[in-house]
Chains A and B, each alone.
Chain A
């Protein structure tokens, strides 16, 4: 287990088995005139800012499937633990599952060790997993949280690279959002100012990027707790439905009714004692 230049080959280490599997799968699909399925992406703007009292995360709420908006009220800020939330950009299923897995693992860890999970731990777990899958999991995540060591904001890329910076934007609208952040970010901002900054950053992403849109969600994490404001601001381009699409009970008239009681008789009864000694 010690040095890698010991005589026998260690079983642990980098495992690239999935790489050959993926190549084989792609070859199989393309060769047989079937196209590999197009994943649903959250063309997205997500942003995060570290302020004096905590961390503010923001996201838009549009999920696209090709050129169609698949979900107008998609939740992109995922719960990880009571003190950590994670924004996800990229393939919607990947971000959802990855953050779910992380959340479950951290809950188990909390119960086992009796400790609250730290943001660095979550980031390391994410990095491990995404690196192992060699970029095949298309998840760009912004993880923010407050723990006993302070307020933290990290980004994890789909290939497993980490960056730890005070302000971030990811997703297809990241360039627009980052412009706002670069202009107005100051270290140790007040909470209200930080919320406004994140809101403005997401707003510029929504305005300048076709893949982002609809409402803005904000999540404020402080030592005292979490304020998940969904939506923080609704889109001014909402339309009202012209009609109700629910049918009231009685729309379909009942012509006849026949009730057949099921006759059940006990055929066999076995009792198995549980050994509670």
Chain B
């Protein structure tokens, strides 16, 4: 997308993921930000709150996604105050899509929007590079996502519980981090439901282990 040398550009080459369950969503991400082959931040928080019950998972250019998230946080906050009501996840997703699509030539951002609202419960929307918007029960993104499509397809079942979802996400992320050089660090998880947001961090030595390790 950009014409200038991207030597100094920081990328969230990553693995991000979101899963719907009955009553909310579980989102997860690794914690690596790279500048070329150097890891600029090994404890990045890629799960950014947009509103009380709406989060976004960021991948792509660090600067672009931070800026877009800031813009959408403002727009959504304003909208929510005007309406005097909690905003819908669909609204947040559409705001992301609007920015990502309009400036698609200049931006490099792959975002997963996930949250809980009163109307439709837990929802996951994906806005990949280019500005498409689609709702999915499960979504993975980032450079490490390619390694876990098979795992997702075989292990996701509809109507899982929150704990099953947490285990699915942490398992999938550890597998991706194991194989993808651009993902690593710790696993950050968040479970969003009507009662609130429950965040956790799984450190490197506490990650689930797999047989070929």
Interface residues of A (CB under 8 A from B): 1-5, 13-14, 16, 19, 22-23, 127, 130-131, 134-136, 138, 140, 157-163, 165, 175
CA distance A103 to B99 in the complex (A): 31
Contacting residue for B75 out of A3, A19, A161, A165, CB 8 A: A3
Note all chain B residues with C-beta closer than 8 A to A131: 63, 66-67
User: Are B2 and A2 in contact (CB-based, < 8 A)?
Assistant: no
Name the residue of chain B whose CB is nearest to the CB of A162. Answer: B66
Residues of chain B within 8 A of A157, CB atoms compared: 8-10, 35, 40, 62-63
Query: What's the minimum C-beta distance from B204 to chain A, rounded to whole angstroms?
Result: 14
* CA gap between A138 and B9 in the complex, in Å: 11
Nearest CB in chain A: distance from B133 CB, A: 12
Determine if B33 is an interface residue (Cβ-Cβ < 8 Å): yes
Contact code string B36-49 (vs A, CB < 8 Å = 1, else 0): 00101101100000
- Cα(A134)–Cα(B61), bound, Å: 12
Dominant SS among interface residues on chain A? loop
Q: Of B40, B61, B94, which is within 8 A of A163 by CB?
A: B40
- Please name the residue on chain B nearest to A90 by beta carbon: B8
Check A161 against B66 for contact (C-beta < 8 Å): yes
Encoded as 1 (CB less than 8 Å from any A CB) or 0, chain B from 113 to 148 comes to: 000000000000000000000000000000000000
Interface size on B, residues (CB 8 A): 31
28 A-B pairs (CB sep. < 8 Å): A2-B78, A3-B79, A4-B95, A4-B98, A4-B99, A5-B94, A5-B98, A13-B71, A14-B103, A14-B106, A19-B3, A23-B3, A127-B63, A127-B67, A135-B8, A135-B63, A157-B62, A158-B8, A159-B9, A159-B63, A159-B64, A160-B66, A161-B33, A163-B33, A163-B40, A163-B41, A163-B44, A165-B41
Q: Is the Cβ of B3 less than 8 Å from the Cβ of A175?
A: no
Q: Please determine whether A159 and B8 come into contact, CB atoms closer than 8 angstroms.
A: yes
A14 to chain B, nearest CB (A): 5
